[in-house]
Copies of this chain bind each other. A is one copy, B any other.
């Protein structure tokens, strides 16, 4: 398979990557150019599920400055029974006040009308510049045009329409062999770690034709989000606009019961797909060279999370990753900063399996071997704190000249 490229994702045996361009049964999609992007690129996307009994779940940014579409969808839509998703790129409709809420509601109503479903069964998402009024007429015209183009093979153009600064597309379609038959899972995403000119907004839309109760859709999404998008380090941790939607049409007739083998198998595939997508987000960006993974063990859950966060967000660690610098002092500095008042801290550090620090002090190691080990595309750091039981991981992008160029030289 060409999709599962990271050594940190186990490609599931029961899934086969397909490239026939078709969405799971029951779904149609389209993308059009509505004029929001000055380049004339696709900027309005629509996904419609034709199955009346569709189930779904959604997750959003927890930002205190949530965008208008996040507020409208989260507060006013039926998140367990979403039939349609409408997205625009080129404008985030964030920090746009009362008018922004009206515009997001208008987008939702227009998409509902085109899809033939109540507005409450539509999720709205927007990504792009902040604090600029949404050109709502252009967007609604785009929604009408997208409605006329809805097709079972429309996933690629939908994925194109939600892109902003992504250097490469992020989508996959997998056929999953379950005991009761084959189901399909498609995912389209956008997001570029540490590299977006405005925000590393994350939009992820996943569809399946499995038949899954809404509670189980929610559970699957919760578990898999926690192991994927909650574990990547992007600017500021929280965009105004992050949105993740999983929809199940049931069109395959293959049922995924709670706590069944089928659910475990389907969950494994969803987990692998979302982890690989999350890694692609961390890896994206012009000139980004490497992705890091930090694994933290020991201590308590709060401690390992703090340490993983501190290491993955440290500009010193990120620049070292970019420069293939095996400077482990930067790792212990981040660990110490995450756990104030605990000195002297009994911490062990390994980089690519090479022990560099034990009980808080340096360990003799071959500098040349270590320097070689940090030159690959993926670099792994393992940190062990005193105590047992807790464990977490985090993926992070490097920090290089291209980030500065894009972010310092771009002006709204």
- Contact partner of A131 (CB less than 8 A), chosen from B235, B328, B371, is B328
Query: Is residue A339 within 8 Å, beta carbon to beta carbon, of the partner chain?
Result: yes
Contact-residue size bin, chain A (C-beta under 8 Å from the other chain): 35 or more
Query: Is residue A9 within 8 Å, beta carbon to beta carbon, of the partner chain?
Result: no
Query: Is residue A334 within 8 Å, beta carbon to beta carbon, of the partner chain?
Result: yes
Query: Is residue A314 within 8 Å, beta carbon to beta carbon, of the partner chain?
Result: yes
Question: In the complex, are the beta carbons of A129 and B411 less than 8 A apart?
Answer: no
A236 with B332, Cβ < 8 A, contacts A97-B360, A315-B403 known: no
Question: In the complex, are the beta carbons of A335 and B65 less than 8 A apart?
Answer: yes
Question: In the complex, are the beta carbons of A238 and B361 less than 8 A apart?
Answer: no
The majority secondary structure among interface residues of chain A is loop
- Which residues from chain B contact A338 at a C-beta distance below 8 Å? 64
A45–B320 alpha-carbon span in the complex (Å): 30
Query: Is residue A40 within 8 Å, beta carbon to beta carbon, of the partner chain?
Result: no
How many identical chains are in the complex?
2
Question: In the complex, are the beta carbons of B236 and A362 less than 8 A apart?
Answer: no
- Which residues from chain B contact A237 at a C-beta distance below 8 Å? 337
A238–B235 alpha-carbon span in the complex (Å): 20
A339–B330 alpha-carbon span in the complex (Å): 28
Q: Which residue of chain B has its CB nearest to the CB of A360?
A: B95
Q: Which residue of chain B has its CB nearest to the CB of A237?
A: B337
Interface string of A330-362 (1 = CB under 8 A from B): 101111111111111101000000001101111
User: Can you name 12 A-B residue pairings with CB atoms under 8 Å?
Assistant: A64-B335, A65-B332, A94-B332, A95-B362, A96-B361, A97-B360, A129-B329, A131-B332, A131-B361, A235-B333, A239-B333, A371-B411
Residue ranges of A at the interface with B (Cβ–Cβ < 8 Å): 61-66, 70-71, 92, 94-100, 129-133, 194, 198-199, 235-240, 310, 314-316, 319-320, 322-323, 325-330, 332-345, 347, 356-357, 359-362, 371, 399-401, 403-405, 407-412
Complex A-B, nearest 3 residue pairs according to Cβ-Cβ distance, in ascending order:
A97-B361, A65-B336, A130-B329
